[in-house]
């Protein structure tokens, strides 16, 4: 049922590096053995295939769903509020702390939006979703596999003759694409003969390629991904979908059917045939119609053949030119209500309903006629929950002549709808800068805030409406409050930063009235927030405008450098440590330096950036622990040190000392310990319990290893000091 879905190892994984290593991605494929009836089969991007547990009787989950877009999952009328992808495909993430804020799967994993906000994970368009904790401090994992930049060659399902130039040729993946009814299931590859073609990477469970060198699509929050439960098909099946009954051994099919749905001898005649889904019951059993006969089928016996075409609503279908689908739907709803009122015989004596309809559709002559007959109609607001005015509707749609007529007729500029939005806010939301300019010249309050304390500048910044931002900032009759705080204490700059519109960010950072040190309700100033959102451009811009902010700490003692180190943001860490005046020894309220945090989270590149730029490797936290204490005391490190032979550890240390690298946990922790000692970490410093590093090292062999490395480093320093003295004397 999940054939084509992209997966990674799950919570009950026990198969070593069968997948190619942590973070490596594979594709669910049809059973690779005729008698295989349990679990699911996965072919990893390396080309290897195996069968794994997926819930059911085993109760174990070896896999998580990394991406379900290959099944055709799409949220038709949802737009990602960061990358503006309309019709989000694959897993959708909805913020629980912001009104109507959604992220696509990529933006969620890239850390867009506030990492402290909780989200709902929505796997398909037909399920309510599952709440996940905030991303701040959550475990991240680097994806690895057939992604752009990967080097690939023919894989197990190759059927393209010598398109690649011949067996054994290696090409480079250039992009990921989809096909009708399936997304992110194909990749383009350029071969040495310069030909470029597309190949299946999950489409219908086929993998035309295998990697010779894997590439990454960045980090993802592994514990926020759904487990692959082979029995949980309701979110992925709808009435009308086409499914195929697997052509399996009749006895195995009967065995599976008897486990859940019962057996009818006629079912075996449907093997390999395509049927139409009638319903999915509450237990997940699927009722399928095969040529007029219907049976309940165990979902483990079915594969998706074709999704029913989704009916998408587009702005064009409304026969209106609107900037945002949601607002257009609301306005259309109001128009339909008004038309209904007029048709059912109720009289529109004020002319307000007719004026609203004329304004919304841009009928200027009709607007002027109604105003002439009913001057008070300009004050009319629609009924229901929206409470919209004619001026708001015309402003949002950009009907300049209508707006001019309404303003001239003294239409109320500051009338608010149910959400507290004025006509100026509607013009901003519709991205109509000329209307914004017109309303400001007419006297609209430039800082009018809605029910969430969002001003027009907040709205323009968060929507990325650059020209509207420019008009608001340059308006000289009123001062636009660039420091106005919304209900969360965020200024327009705070909302602009995660959107990463460089021009808007630049204007706000360098505005003469901006207060970059202003904090929101979480205690973040603009620099903290820029780091938290991982927006390098904003970090550099803020430091250029206000370099003295580099060492400002939040109430918990976290500076921008602490935040970068904690979250593994190596590029930003490097920017911060190279900033003039950066205090790398600042401590949090728990006495932790940035190096302590980077070491505790095993963020290697951050550790290197800090140590290479002068961070004190022997700094002690409030418990007196150095960074080396933390490495050796990690529970995982203790387990590793107990079971790993000393000879292997020495070999690892030698490899890593020669510039080698490894992604597995064992090698990584050894690498950190070796790296710290080679950069001056003292194994004899005692913490507040009176324990030095050797005291918390459980394996005598490892204790000797650390002593030897430490002694070697001391001798190297002694020789260097002797040489320096000799040079001075001579």
Across 70-99, average pLDDT: 90
Q: Quote the mean pLDDT of the chain.
A: 85
Confidence (pLDDT) at 726: 42
Pair 241, 229 in one domain: no
Confidence (pLDDT) at 534: 92
Confidence (pLDDT) at 257: 82
Pair 296, 348 in one domain: no
Instruction: Find the CATH number of the domain harbouring 430.
Output: 1.25.40.20
Convert the pLDDT of each residue in 521-531 to its tens digit.
Answer: 999 999 999 99
Convert the pLDDT of each residue in 651-670 to its tens digit.
Answer: 654 554 444 444 455 567 77
Pair 8, 37 in one domain: yes
Is the pLDDT at 1 greater than 80? The verdict is no
In a domain, 213, yes or no: yes
Is the pLDDT at 679 greater than 80? The verdict is yes
In a domain, 418, yes or no: yes
Most confident of 517-526, 644-653, 665-674: 517-526
How far apart CA 196 and CA 152 sit, in angstroms, is 13
Is the pLDDT at 80 greater than 90? The verdict is yes
Query: Using 50, 70 and 90 to split pLDDT, how confident is the model at 347?
Result: very low
Q: Rounded to whole angstroms, what are the CA distances from 645 to 123, 560, 650?
A: 44, 40, 9
Confidence (pLDDT) at 42: 95
Confidence (pLDDT) at 674: 83
Query: Using 50, 70 and 90 to split pLDDT, how confident is the model at 184?
Result: very high
Would you tell me the crossing angle of helices 352-361 and 390-397 to the nearest 10 degrees? 0
Pair 282, 365 in one domain: no
Confidence (pLDDT) at 313: 34
Which pair of structure tokens corresponds to residue 182?
């399936």
Convert the pLDDT of each residue in 213-243 to its tens digit.
Answer: 999 999 999 999 999 987 676 566 777 888 8
How far apart CA 484 and CA 468 sit, in angstroms, is 17
Pair 273, 420 in one domain: no
End position of a domain, from candidates 234, 266, 286 = 234
End position of a domain, from candidates 445, 470, 503 = 445
Is the pLDDT at 645 greater than 50? The verdict is yes
Is the pLDDT at 481 greater than 90? The verdict is yes
For residue 721, the SS3 value is helix
Across 176-194, average pLDDT: 89
Beta-bridged to residue 190, according to DSSP, are 172, 196
Confidence (pLDDT) at 431: 92
Pair 247, 224 in one domain: no
Write out 186-253 in H/E/C secondary structure.
EEEEECCCCCEEEEEECHHHCECEEEEECECCCEEEHHHCCECCCCCCHHHCCCCCEEEECCCCHHHH
Pair 219, 249 in one domain: no
In a domain, 606, yes or no: no
Q: In this predicted model, which residue has the larger pLDDT, 126 or 212?
A: 212
Which pair of structure tokens corresponds to residue 88?
């989000």
Convert the pLDDT of each residue in 610-633 to its tens digit.
Answer: 999 999 999 999 999 999 998 887
End position of a domain, from candidates 276, 306, 336 = 306
Residue keyed to tokens 């320096």: 724
For 408, the domain range is: 315-445
Q: Which residues contact 22 (CB under 8 A, 6 or more apart)?
A: 9, 141, 663, 664
Residue keyed to tokens 């989704």: 310
Beta-bridged to residue 597, according to DSSP, are none
In a domain, 208, yes or no: yes
Write out 7-28 in H/E/C secondary structure.
EEECCCCCCCCCCCCCCECEEE
Most confident of 36-50, 160-174, 228-242, 713-727: 160-174
Domain count for the chain: 4
Which pair of structure tokens corresponds to residue 38?
């349990």
Is the pLDDT at 516 greater than 60? The verdict is yes
In a domain, 678, yes or no: yes
CB 484 within 8 A of CB 449: yes
Q: In this predicted model, which residue has the larger pLDDT, 349 or 336?
A: 349
Pair 360, 435 in one domain: yes
Would you tell me the crossing angle of helices 570-577 and 536-545 to the nearest 10 degrees? 10
Pair 356, 252 in one domain: no
In a domain, 476, yes or no: no
Pair 164, 189 in one domain: yes
Convert the pLDDT of each residue in 380-435 to its tens digit.
Answer: 988 765 689 999 999 998 999 999 999 999 999 999 998 899 999 999 999 999 99
Pair 241, 353 in one domain: no
In a domain, 470, yes or no: no
Confidence (pLDDT) at 494: 96
Convert the pLDDT of each residue in 685-709 to its tens digit.
Answer: 999 999 998 888 776 767 777 788 8
Residue 211 burial (CB count, 10 A): 23
Q: How far apart are the first and last CA of the chain?
A: 80
Q: Rounded to 10 degrees, what is the CA torsion of 665, 671, 677, 683? A: 20
Is the pLDDT at 177 greater than 60? The verdict is yes
Convert the pLDDT of each residue in 354-390 to its tens digit.
Answer: 899 899 888 999 999 999 999 999 999 887 656 899 9
Confidence (pLDDT) at 383: 73
Q: In this predicted model, which residue has the larger pLDDT, 308 or 445?
A: 445
Q: Which residues contact 401 (CB under 8 A, 6 or more apart)?
A: 362, 364
Give the percent of the chain with pLDDT over 90: 58
Instruction: Find the CATH number of the domain harbouring 259.
Output: 2.30.30.90
At residue 671, φ and ψ (nearest 5 deg) are -60, -40
Is the pLDDT at 468 greater than 70? The verdict is yes
In a domain, 474, yes or no: no
Pair 131, 264 in one domain: no
Confidence (pLDDT) at 698: 72
Across 539-564, average pLDDT: 96
How far apart CA 356 and CA 212 sit, in angstroms, is 63
Confidence (pLDDT) at 459: 95
Burial readout 544-568 (b: 16 or more C-beta within 10 A, e: otherwise): eebeebbebbbeeebbbbbbbbbbb
For the residues of 516-573, what is the DSSP string, one character each?
TT---TTS--HHHHHHHTT-HHHHHHHHHH-GGGGG-B-TTS-BHHHHHHHTT-HHHH
Across 12-24, average pLDDT: 95
Confidence (pLDDT) at 285: 80
Q: In this predicted model, which residue has the larger pLDDT, 603 or 706?
A: 603
Q: In this predicted model, which residue has the larger pLDDT, 261 or 32?
A: 261
Is the pLDDT at 344 greater than 70? The verdict is no
């Amino acid at each position: 049922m999940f054939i084509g879905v992209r997966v990674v190892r799950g919570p009950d994984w026990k198969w070593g590096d069968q997948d190619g290593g942590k973070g490596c991605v594979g594709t669910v494929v049809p059973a690779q053995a005729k008698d295989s009836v349990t679990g699911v089969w996965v072919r990893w991007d390396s080309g290897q295939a195996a069968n794994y547990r997926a819930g059911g009787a085993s109760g174990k989950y070896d896999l998580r769903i990394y991406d379900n877009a290959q099944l055709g999952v799409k949220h038709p009328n949802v737009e990602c509020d960061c990358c503006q992808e309309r019709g989000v495909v694959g897993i959708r993430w909805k913020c629980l702390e912001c009104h109507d804020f959604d992220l696509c799967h990529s933006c969620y994993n890239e850390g867009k939006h506030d990492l402290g906000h909780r989200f709902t994970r929505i796997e398909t368009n037909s399920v309510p979703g599952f709440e996940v904790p905030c991303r701040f401090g959550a475990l991240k994992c680097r994806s690895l596999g057939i992604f752009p930049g990967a080097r690939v060659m023919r894989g197990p399902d190759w059927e393209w003759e010598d398109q690649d130039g011949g067996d054994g040729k290696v090409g480079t993946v250039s992009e990921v694409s989809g096909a009708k009814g399936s997304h992110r299931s194909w990749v383009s590859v350029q071969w040495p003969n310069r030909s470029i073609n597309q190949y299946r990477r999950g489409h219908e469970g086929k993998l035309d390629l295998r990697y010779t060198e894997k590439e990454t699509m960045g980090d993802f929050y592994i514990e926020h991904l759904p487990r692959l439960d082979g029995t949980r098909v309701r979110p992925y099946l709808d009435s009308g979908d086409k499914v195929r009954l697997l052509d399996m051994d009749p006895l195995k099919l009967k065995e599976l059917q008897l486990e859940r749905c019962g057996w009818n001898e006629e079912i075996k005649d449907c093997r390999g045939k395509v049927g139409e889904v009638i319903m999915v019951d509450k237990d997940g059993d699927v009722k399928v119609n095969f040529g007029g006969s219907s049976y309940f089928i165990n979902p483990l016996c079915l594969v998706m053949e074709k999704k029913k075409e989704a009916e998408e609503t587009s702005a064009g279908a409304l026969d209106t030119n609107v900037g945002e689908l949601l607002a257009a739907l609301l306005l259309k709803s109001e128009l339909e209500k008004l038309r209904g009122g007029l048709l059912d015989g109720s009289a529109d004596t004020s002319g307000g309903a007719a004026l609203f309809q004329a304004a919304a559709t841009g009928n200027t002559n009709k607007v002027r006629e109604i105003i002439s007959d009913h001057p008070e109609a300009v004050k009319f607001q629609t009924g229901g929950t929206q409470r919209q005015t004619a001026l708001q509707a015309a402003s949002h749609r950009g009907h300049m002549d209508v707006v001019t007529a309404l303003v001239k007729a003294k239409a109320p500029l500051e009338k608010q709808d149910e959400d507290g939005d004025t006509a100026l806010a509607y013009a901003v939301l519709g991205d109509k800068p000329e209307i914004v300019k017109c309303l400001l010249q007419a006297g609209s309050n430039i800082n009018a805030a809605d029910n969430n304390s969002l001003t027009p500048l907040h709205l323009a910044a968060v929507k990325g409406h650059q020209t509207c931002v420019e008009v608001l900032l340059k308006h000289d009759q009123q001062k636009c409050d660039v420091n106005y705080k919304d209900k969360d204490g965020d200024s327009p700059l705070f909302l602009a930063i995660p959107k990463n519109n460089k021009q808007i960010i630049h204007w706000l950072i360098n505005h003469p009235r901006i207060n970059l040190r202003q904090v929101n309700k979480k205690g973040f100033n603009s620099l903290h927030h820029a780091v938290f959102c991982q927006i390098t451009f904003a970090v550099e811009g803020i430091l250029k405008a206000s370099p003295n902010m580099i060492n400002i700490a939040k109430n918990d003692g976290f500076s921008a450098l602490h935040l970068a180190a904690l979250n593994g943001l190596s590029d930003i860490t490097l920017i911060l440590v190279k900033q003039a005046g950066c205090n790398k020894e600042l401590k949090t309220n728990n006495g932790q330096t940035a190096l302590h945090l980077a070491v505790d989270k095993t963020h290697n590149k951050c550790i290197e950036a800090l140590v290479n730029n002068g961070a004190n490797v022997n700094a002690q936290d409030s418990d007196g622990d150095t960074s080396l204490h933390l490495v050796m005391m990690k529970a995982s490190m203790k387990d590793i040190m107990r079971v790993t032979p000393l000879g292997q550890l020495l070999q690892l240390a030698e490899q890593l000392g020669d510039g080698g690298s490894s992604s597995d946990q064992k090698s990584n922790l050894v690498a950190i310990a070796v790296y710290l000692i080679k950069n001056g970490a003292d194994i004899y410093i005692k913490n507040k319990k009176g324990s030095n590093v050797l005291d918390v090292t459980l394996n005598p062999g490892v204790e000797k290893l650390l002593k030897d490395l430490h002694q070697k480093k001391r001798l190297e320093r002694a020789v260097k000091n002797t040489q320096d003295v000799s040079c001075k004397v001579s």
